[in-house]
Amino acid sequence: MSQKLCGMAGGKASVSYLTVSTFVILGILLIARPYAAVAIAAFVVGLGAVYLRQLTGKKTKSALTADVFQEFELAKKTIVSHNVTIYRFNLPTPESVLGLPIGQHVSLCASIRQPDGTFKEISRSYTPISGDDQPGSFDLLIKTYPQGNMTQHLASMTVGQSIRARGPKGNFTYTSNMVRRLGMIAGGTGITPMLQIIDAIMRGRESGDQTEIDLIYANVTVEDILQSVILDKHAEDPGIRVHYVLDRPPEGWDGGIGYVTADMITRWLPGPAPDIKILLCGPPPMVAALKRTTEKLGYEKSRPISKLEDQVFAF
């Protein structure tokens, strides 16, 4: 990838609210001189109100920009398993929020040494498992792969070092009660966008979000199941149901076994209807197979690149 991809390009400055107000008032003065004193007085009062709001108003500042990579400092690494880590990055201020719409992701970028000794700009996309209810920082749940340029780089980082990030990115944005039921199928770290959406729905319960969720979460072994404590806690909600599927289950396992099948989808997820969506996230071969399976089961055909209006959406 080119240097420009991960560059720290600046954005255009915007015209301030006060500058526009000044020109408006000057226009009034020129057109209606008899009322100049009134206009000046109104301007002074308005200016004072703006400054007072800036001084006393409690505001949160979104840290992300879509077209500019910014540096975020690594604050903490939490080891989840032998190859999965939660990385916590600081935002510019304790009051800052990431400003990421629910269901979207960020791009990370770094200059990474290659086997031949050269450096290459590498960019990868990840979905935070934290939301704007966590000011001052954001969390990424990431699996380290032996040949993964970015994941190996992240694993080698120490607290205090920085990564470049920008966003938001993605075609899916969750809004409260957008459908009656959401069916979700996730594999491995593909659970991250699902967690983000489930967390948002749980936070929205008090304000009237009644969306029901049916999640199938597939992994190889029990040890590979991520955030099971959080998922099981969410499943205490009567509108949320979680089904685990393992390729190599332990003795006495009472969940699903093997790959996610058409029968599992029929039994555990909402059937085709105008007021439901099926969300997919996981390894590409898994997602490709699930697209074919859902189409055979009567769901609308998934596009190569999913759009928000699609009944079957793949992250």
The tens digit of pLDDT for each residue in 199-241 reads 999 999 999 999 999 999 999 999 999 999 999 999 999 999 9
The percent of the chain in helix, strand and coil, each rounded to the nearest 5, is 30, 30, 40
Give the pLDDT confidence of 278-290 residue by residue, as tens digits.
999 999 999 999 9
* pLDDT for the residue 62: 82
Give the pLDDT confidence of 139-189 residue by residue, as tens digits.
999 999 999 999 999 999 999 999 999 999 999 999 999 999 999 999 999
The whole-model pTM stands at 0.80
Cβ contact 90:75 at 8 Å: yes
**Beta strand extents in the chain (DSSP E only):** 70-81, 84-90, 105-113, 119-126, 137-143, 162-169, 181-187, 212-219, 240-246, 256-257, 276-281, 312-314
Mean pLDDT, residues 5-11 taken together: 52
User: 23-27, 87-91, 245-249: which has the minimum mean pLDDT?
Assistant: 23-27
Mean pLDDT, residues 262-272 taken together: 98
Strands 105-113 vs 119-126: parallel, antiparallel or unpaired: antiparallel
Cβ contact 140:226 at 8 Å: no
Give me the phi and psi of 139, to 5 degrees please. -115, 140
Annotated binding residue at 124? yes
| Residue 183 half-sphere exposure toward CB, CA atoms < 13 A | 20
Which of 53, 19, 22 shows the shortest CA–CA distance to 40? 22
Give the pLDDT confidence of 293-303 residue by residue, as tens digits.
999 999 999 99
* pLDDT for the residue 227: 94
Q: How crowded is residue 90: how many other Cβ atoms within 10 Å of its Cβ?
A: 18
Instruction: Return the higher-pLDDT residue of 23 and 248.
Output: 248
* pLDDT for the residue 59: 53
Annotated binding residue at 141? yes
Annotated binding residue at 35? no
* pLDDT for the residue 139: 97
Annotated binding residue at 175? no
Cβ contact 195:202 at 8 Å: no
* pLDDT for the residue 61: 73
Give the pLDDT confidence of 21-79 residue by residue, as tens digits.
443 343 444 444 544 444 444 443 344 443 333 433 445 678 999 999 999 999 999 99
Give the single-character DSSP code of 9.
-
Annotated binding residue at 143? yes
Q: pLDDT class for 7, splitting at 50, 70, 90?
A: low
Annotated binding residue at 279? no
Give the pLDDT confidence of 162-171 residue by residue, as tens digits.
999 999 999 9
Flag whether pLDDT at 123 surpasses 60.
Answer: yes
* pLDDT for the residue 8: 53
CA distances from 200 to 116, 197, 263 (A): 44, 5, 29
> Which residues are known to be catalytic?
105, 126-127, 281
Give me the phi and psi of 291, to 5 degrees please. -60, -45
Which CATH architecture does the domain made up of 70-169 adopt?
Beta Barrel (2.40)
CATH topology of domain 181-314: Rossmann fold (3.40.50)
Helix (H) or strand (E) holding 154: helix 149-156
Mean pLDDT, residues 69-91 taken together: 96
Mean pLDDT, residues 113-138 taken together: 95
Tell me the sheet residues that pair with 125: 107
Flag whether pLDDT at 1 surpasses 70.
Answer: no
Cβ contact 199:131 at 8 Å: yes
What are the domain boundaries of the chain? Answer: 17-56, 70-169, 181-314
